[in-house]
Chain A
């Protein structure tokens, strides 16, 4: 039975359950809803939920689990000797799946009958041509083992689908019957329905945890795989980064970390003083008019997507720096050869972070109680003395937290460095030289044509893992500090 039909039947059962449940409840109350425990809607919804939810849940799980199970079983049956030279089990399996899919299509479209399919012999009966007719293109002729596996695959899928259909329908009908039989005027339908709603709320809230688990798992599995192919010590302590997709790469993370930290440092050196002073000015000095005008304008900088900053770095700031420090430039020095450099990326990233630092600091400075300032003014302190000696020390933990958050942003920023920092991994002190970062290399290692199983591609996950751990530590620390700070003044 096609999947769509199955889902439709379950849904129709649900709709019928709603009507039936409602009516049964009403008739048990003698047609007067005042005698019911809950509103009639709840009785209907209750039956509908019982008819659909368990069935659809099982269906979803089945849809995910069945292909994985069959894949594993079939793959386990292919002897290693039958995998052609230069190929992998994965490639053979994808052939198997395509052939199986193609055969299904061919039969459903009437290109061949089931009997004809049974009579197919690998290498002879033009399977490739037949499948090409239904739009499944194969790279080479079908080998006997592929055909056999594909047949097994089809058989298992067919059986699996049948069991699935029966099970789902049984569950739907069973749920319907159970809930329907329990429906009477004293049944607490609202509580059951509300329970179900609450469950779905909890599930939604747990997605945050699932996402984190997903991130961690996808990083951990691939990182472990990478360290199986490439020694961890060389990754963490290596000072050269030169991936070559033919093999024999050195994949030391240190030059990338250096680039990341250097660029982040420049970015913070730009963003922290400007952002902090802007926040102090706007919260302590500016008239309401100036504040109402300047604050949203500064925050526009935060709303601009990073790709825009990336382009700004590549095409505006980079050339500008070259025209100042490059060959024949404003200062008559030749310190800079290309538009991409640590300073280019750092400067632009700093601009991006100004509103981030300033609005976080602004919140934090505003959280310092006015009584504190009054106390200082009352003693005859000037505004700047009050800010420097009373407000800032009081706000310090919060501001440190804000700076840590900004640092975490800088470390994780991708588009600006991909476009503005360059591609060369080197350990150098010169801020006008091109360097690269962890994030930029994640992009370049995963957008190339590398095989996902090669260390050159897998290294991206190890880089991602390092990035995730670094930013996680910064975030947790920063959030903790900020939280403690806020509690102090609440």
Chain B
């Protein structure tokens, strides 16, 4: 593990990738997200932190419209990806999700071979011209997922046979294989042991070079370790958003301070 180099890194020059304006989310009658405004930058790791049930995962799922799959969920407000409102009627969530990939809390490889797991996205989006092309994409994705060396000899073994940490890196590689621009990660390490966690965290840091990464985590240490920007959510409100170093060392809001010092949570 490395000693929090992110605090020193200057990130101000990055352009905005996603901007959210007055986002409200309702589950039936209850409001889960209240009036959230945030600008997420490209080539940056943004961490969402906050106590359980604060709405951080819900908000994350809004960013690639995963909430569409829940019947009673309703989103109001505007979320722009590269200046285009993703909740516009003309936007096809399928096309959106190709640009905004997602990695879930529990590793969820498909009950297929490792190769087919990675090739699934490129196949449905038609990214490969031929078999050789596809092989190349798969290898590239596995390398970027930092798992190539471990699985290159058994690409046709089932993906479910890997260890938990390997499965999660496989899922990240799977998400990377579709060439997304943003990568959303919903507590990607919560089901992993410490060693696997550190491997995934290293991987996240590497991914920052090409993607905007948004990670939800309940571990403040993890947020401090991997992110440049941190947003603190509480009871559906975005309480504070800023550079990770500032949030952890000099929070402006008393609620943020209480959370970070462990008084609420």
Contacts and interface: CB of A to CB of B under 8 A. Distances in A.
Interface in B109-134: 109-112, 120-121, 124-125
B104 A374 contact: yes
B175 A379 contact: yes
B94 A380 contact: yes
A380 B96 contact: yes
Nearest to A369: B108
Interface in A374-404: 374-382, 385, 389-390, 393-394
A374 to B, nearest CB: 6
A381 B124 contact: yes
A288 interface: yes
B69 A373 contact: yes
A379 B174 contact: yes
A379 to B, nearest CB: 4
Contacts of B64: 378
B98 interface: yes
Contact of A380 (B71, B95, B103, B112): B95
Contact of A393 (B98, B112, B175): B112
A378 B104 contact: yes
A378 B96 contact: no
B120 A377 contact: no
A380 B108 contact: no
Contact of B120 (A287, A374, A389, A394): A389
Nearest to A372: B108
Nearest to B99: A380
Interface string B82-97: 0000000000001111
Contacts of B98: 379-380
Contacts of B71: 287-288
Contacts of B120: 376, 379, 381, 389-390
A418 to B, nearest CB: 43
A201 interface: no
Contacts of A390: 110, 120
A288 B66 CA distance: 19
Interface size class on chain A is 20 to 34
Interface in A285-306: 287-288
B74 interface: no
B104 A393 contact: no
Contact of B108 (A288, A374, A382, A385): A374
Interface string B146-184: 000000000000000000000000010011001000001
Given A375-B104, A375-B171, A380 B178 contact: yes
B116 to A, nearest CB: 9
B111 A393 contact: yes
B37 to A, nearest CB: 25
A371 B99 CA distance: 20
A380 B98 CA distance: 5
A380 B69 contact: no
Nearest to A390: B110
Interface string A259-288: 000000000000000000000000000011
A379 B108 CA distance: 12
Interface string B56-77: 0000000010100101000000
Nearest to B96: A380
A376 B104 contact: no
Given A287-B71, A389-B120, A379 B106 contact: no
Contacts of B102: 374, 378-379
B50 interface: no
A287 B70 CA distance: 10
Given A288-B71, A371-B104, A374-B108, A380 B66 contact: no
Contacts of A377: 66, 69, 97
B101 interface: yes
B253 to A, nearest CB: 32
A178 to B, nearest CB: 62
A374 B65 CA distance: 11
B96 A394 contact: no
A381 B101 CA distance: 11
A377 B95 CA distance: 11
B110 A372 contact: yes
Given A378-B175, A380-B98, A394 B66 contact: no
B169 to A, nearest CB: 14
A379 B97 contact: yes
30 contacts: A287-B71, A369-B108, A371-B104, A373-B69, A374-B104, A374-B108, A375-B104, A375-B110, A375-B171, A376-B110, A376-B120, A378-B101, A379-B97, A379-B101, A379-B102, A379-B120, A379-B121, A379-B178, A380-B96, A380-B99, A380-B178, A381-B94, A381-B120, A382-B124, A389-B120, A389-B124, A390-B110, A393-B110, A393-B112, A394-B110
Given A372-B108, A379-B174, A382-B124, 10 more contacts: A371-B108, A375-B108, A375-B174, A377-B66, A378-B104, A379-B120, A380-B96, A380-B121, A393-B110, A393-B112
Interface of B: 64, 66, 69, 71, 94-99, 101-104, 106, 108-112, 120-121, 124-125, 171, 174-175, 178, 184
Q: Which 7 A-B pairs have the closest CB atoms?
A: A378-B102, A380-B97, A380-B98, A371-B108, A379-B121, A375-B108, A394-B111
